[in-house]
Amino acid sequence: MIVKYGGNAMKSLELRRAVAAEIAALRAHMPVVVVHGGGPVIERELAARGIASEFRRGLRVTSPEAMDVVEMALCQLNKQLAQDIGGAVGLMGRDCQLLRAETFDPELGRVGQITGVNADLLRTLLGAGITPVVGCVAVGPDGDALNINADTAAGAVAGALNKGIIFLTDVDGVYRNYPDPASRAKALSRAEGEEGISAGWIAGGMIPKVRAALDALDRGAPHATIASGMVAGVLEAAARGEAGTVITA
């Protein structure tokens, strides 16, 4: 199972440690690869250096200067998460070309789209009983770092390994009438997802998540679920198909 863990569900140390414990518990049932973001941590580090944040279509416009800060912030978080989970090794996309990417929109600067995943490295670690924890910075053709939305990176990893994926976030799925939690969709088809994005009831950070879930299915992942990282027990329930929103192709 691939678990994508986003910045909004790791806002406090307690929450981060609780999710790490859930991931460690899931690992007793199945091999797990963690792919993480860290939007709020990046935000804080950029602000501390007086670098303004700008997003286009949910992606951070990333100057070379901002890229250095993104990589530094995510590297530190990567090591903390691997330590919290235990039996884990923290990696970034530069390690053994784990995530390869190329730029695709000059307006976004050093933001990449994934062109390759070193799935053999992940399989080797899993085969040795080690949990890979992957930060969402990729290596570009020039050998420099590229910033990847963490949902996108996680979807590409799930596709490359042909494994299911759970996106843990700060809401318990996709709401048809956001922010009413009673409107959570138990399942959401591709057509409904596209309709929600164009009609605007799927917005903000939920757009790359739904897109990444569909992309993961396209790339060969058998299932994709969006669920809450804020509530104990949800990860294992989602792994059984009993929580969150299941995205269907």
Ligand X SMILES: CC(=O)N[C@@H](CCC(=O)OP(=O)(O)O)C(=O)O
Q: Which residues sit in the known binding site for substrate?
A: 38-39, 60, 147
Say how far apart CA 245 and CA 249 lie, in whole Å: 13
Q: Which residue is nearest to ligand X (CB)?
A: 37
Which of 84, 109, 196, 209 is labelled catalytic?
A: 209
Tokens 């992606």 belong to residue: 59
Reply yes or no on whether 112 is catalytic.
no
Q: Is 136 in the site for ligand X (CB under 6 A)?
A: yes
Reply yes or no on whether 170 is catalytic.
no
In the list ligand X, ligand ADP, none, the entry touching 70 (Cβ below 5 to 8 angstroms by class) is: ligand X
In the list ligand ADP, ligand X, none, the entry touching 95 (Cβ below 5 to 8 angstroms by class) is: none
Say how far apart CA 190 and CA 199 lie, in whole Å: 14
- Residue 205 beta carbon to ligand ADP: minimum distance, rounded to whole angstroms: 2
Q: How many CB atoms lie within 10 A of CB 105?
A: 13
Tokens 């609780």 belong to residue: 18
**Taking Cα atoms as reference points, which of 152, 166, 173 lies closest to residue 58?**
152
Q: Is 6 in the site for ligand X (CB under 6 A)?
A: yes
Mark the binding-site residues, compressed into ranges: 38-39, 60, 147
In the list ligand X, ligand ADP, none, the entry touching 35 (Cβ below 5 to 8 angstroms by class) is: none
Q: Which parts of the chain fold into alpha helices (H)?
A: 13-26, 39-48, 64-85, 119-127, 150-161, 190-199, 206-219, 234-239
- Residue 101 beta carbon to ligand ADP: minimum distance, rounded to whole angstroms: 19
Give residue 217's identity as a one-letter amino acid code: L
Reply yes or no on whether 79 is catalytic.
no
Reply yes or no on whether 39 is catalytic.
yes
Q: Is 244 in the site for ligand X (CB under 6 A)?
A: no
Among 3, 27, 31, 37, interactor with ligand X by CB under 6 A = 37
Binding site for ligand ADP (CB under 6 A): 6-9, 37, 39, 169-171, 174-175, 178, 201-206, 209
Q: Is 149 in the site for ligand X (CB under 6 A)?
A: yes
- Residue 66 beta carbon to ligand X: minimum distance, rounded to whole angstroms: 8
Strand partners of residue 116? 100
Cβ closest to ligand ADP, residue 27 vs residue 209: 209
CB 201 within 8 A of CB 178: yes
3-state SS, residue 211: helix
Say how far apart CA 231 and CA 201 lie, in whole Å: 24
Q: Is 59 in the site for ligand X (CB under 6 A)?
A: yes
- Residue 83 beta carbon to ligand X: minimum distance, rounded to whole angstroms: 19
Burial of 3 (0-12, 13-18, 19+ CB in 10 A): buried
CB 138 within 8 A of CB 112: yes
- Residue 102 beta carbon to ligand X: minimum distance, rounded to whole angstroms: 13
Reply yes or no on whether 7 is catalytic.
yes
CB 152 within 8 A of CB 113: yes
Binding positions for ligand X, rule: CB under 6 A? 6-7, 37-39, 42, 59-60, 70, 111, 136, 147-150, 205
